[in-house]
Amino acid sequence: MRFQAYRTSQFRSRASFLVQSNHSRSFSQLQPALEKRCSFGIAFDVDGVVLSGRVPVGGSPQALRRLYSNSGALKVPFLFLTNGGGVPESRRAVELSELLGVNILPSQVVQGHSTFKNLVKTFENELIIATGKGEPAAVMSEYGFKKVLSLDEYASYFKHIDPVSQYKRWTTEQISNRNSHVLRYNVSSERVKAAFVASDPVDWGRDIQAAFPSERLGIGAFRIALESVFNRIHPSPLEYTTFGKPNPFVFKNAEAILSQFLPSDIDDKENTGSQSFKTLYMIGDNPMVDIKGARQAGHPWFSILTRTGVFKGEDNHAECPADMVVDTVEEAVDYILKREFTSQFFFSYAR
């Protein structure tokens, strides 16, 4: 999943934007000067081959110097081929030059995201998002993409996009500068055309959420991510048990708790045991969680689906239809009270 570009039909938006102008530097035209034609070339991995962290290993500086003539011209064409990334090739070249003691040009640095350059023509003037450690937006801008937002910046456009942001002890540059932050694009009206994962995402949960801003993703999304990763790298699948809706246990437990509640006008001594309910209402916005759970729990649960959250449909949910669909919780409570008081009145009248 590394270094993938995602076409983003999920991203909202269309229309106008505030002007931004980035100029791509044509560093890729700068080719190293070869002393003379050479019949072979070399590609070096970086981590674990020429560097360990920021420390040269395996005599790499000396080895590389042998590829240059005394005049400094390149005798053997070589480049670095690494899955690493997160910084522009120009900056990585400067860093490698300093650490290895030879003059490395940007065109000799091929990182995991370097192939994104090939997509400049497709997305050059489109609004795109870049994510990953380091400076993914700077990387994309240097490639020539004109309208780039880092995912940090994109997420800052949506106040409540991250359901656990208040528990995070780190802050992004955008969050720390929120007061002075100027929104460069109208992302509610301009469509984001692609998201580029340039390097390892740092804030996975927030980044996954930002890719689907219409729906709040919680612990369930983490479970899916964990299961997906585990099952790809282990011979046997992850074994797990989930507690929480829609597990019927949750509804049985809720029923047991509710049955302990006593009206204030009934003395504890009169309590002859837990009461059984004729109906318990589950009001929820998520068909696959709230409604599915209530349906699986069966009697006495009655499910009511609202349209203020996950579910937005006109009709009932096809896969997990609720007993009733309403717009708001207020409507649901209104329905319940009318239904219950009407039926109570009916029965007392019929006696």
Residues of this chain that interact with Mg ion (CB under 5 A) are 45, 47-48
Residue 48 CB, nearest approach to Mg ion (Å) = 4
Q: Shortest approach of Mg ion to residue 45 CB, angstroms?
A: 5
To which H or E segment does residue 195 belong?
Answer: strand 194-197
Question: What are the angstrom distances between the C-alpha of 252 and each of 188, 283, 289, 298, 299?
Answer: 42, 16, 15, 10, 10
Q: Which tokens is 3 given? A: 């270094």
Alpha-carbon distance of 284 to 302, in angstroms, equals 11
Residue 306 sits at φ, ψ, to 5 deg, of -100, 165
Taking the complex as a whole, how short is the minimal distance between the CB of residue 62 and Mg ion, in angstroms?
20
Residue 64 Cβ, how far from Mg ion at the closest point, in Å? 16
* Cross-sheet strand order for the sheet of 42-44: 42-44, 78-81, 109-110
- Distance (Å, whole) CA 174 – CA 150: 10
Distance in angstroms (rounded) separating the CA atoms of residues 68 and 77: 9
DSSP string, 79-125: EEE-S--SS-HHHHHHHHHHHHSS---GGGEE-TTGGGGGGHHHHTT
Residue 187 phi/psi, 5-degree rounding, is -75, -10
Q: Report the residue number whose CB is nearest to Mg ion.
A: 48
Q: How far is the CB of 84 from Mg ion (least distance, A)?
A: 8
Beta carbon nearer to Mg ion, 132 or 246: 132
- Residue type, position 107, single letter: S
In the complex, the smallest distance separating the C-beta of residue 197 from Mg ion, rounded to whole angstroms, is 19
> Which is nearer to Mg ion, 48 or 300 (by Cβ)?
48
